[in-house]
Amino acid sequence: MATYKQAAKRKRKFRKPSLKYKNPTMSRTPILKKCPQAKGIVTRVTIMSPKKPNSAIRHVAKVTLNKGLRLTARIPGRGYLCVKYNRVLVCGGRANDLPGVGYTAIRGVYDFSPVVGKKRRRSVYGVQRPIGFTSFIRRKFRY
């Protein structure tokens, strides 16, 4: 057993927590600073090509947040009306095959147009519910 002097000289080293438990200080979206979404202004709309096995043209937007931080957000869906100085809402969610893109722009909010003619998964693409549309019709009221 160590003497009092030896213990005072060499502080006890605590074992680091194992990696199977997630570190609460680490975040996948550090720029948002623990907020679910952030508002920003588009500074540039560009295209990127994905990583190795995939090949396509992916549309991304460089966004400056109201906090003054800059990030790259992907534009989901087909066809968009997003130009410089548009206001967008950005949330976390990376594009798996685009390196450096860890955020997604939310469609149908502020100046960012929703996807036209979308029937399914409308909430992802910011499409309003069509008039007279019901997702479930009771059996006796069907044709």
Total domains, the chain: 1
Give the pLDDT confidence score for residue 47 in this predicted structure.
94
Closest of 112, 73, 114, 68 to residue 91, by C-alpha = 73
Closest of 106, 115, 114 to residue 40, by C-alpha = 106
Give the pLDDT confidence score for residue 3 in this predicted structure.
86
Looking at the domain assignment, is residue 21 inside a domain?
no
Give the pLDDT confidence score for residue 21 in this predicted structure.
53
Give the pLDDT confidence score for residue 106 in this predicted structure.
92
| Mean pLDDT of each 10-residue bin along the chain, 143 residues long | 82 66 72 91 95 93 94 91 93 91 92 85 83 74 71
Helix (H) or strand (E) holding 5: helix 4-9
Give the pLDDT confidence score for residue 19 in this predicted structure.
60
Looking at the domain assignment, is residue 91 inside a domain?
yes
Give the pLDDT confidence score for residue 1 in this predicted structure.
77
Looking at the domain assignment, is residue 89 inside a domain?
yes
Looking at the domain assignment, is residue 27 inside a domain?
no
Q: In this structure, what CATH number is given to the domain that contains residue 101?
A: 2.40.50.140
Give the pLDDT confidence score for residue 105 in this predicted structure.
94
Give the pLDDT confidence score for residue 63 in this predicted structure.
96
Count of H helices and E strands in the chain?
2, 5
Which domain does 64 fall in, by range?
35-122
Looking at the domain assignment, is residue 64 inside a domain?
yes
Looking at the domain assignment, is residue 54 inside a domain?
yes
Looking at the domain assignment, is residue 131 inside a domain?
no
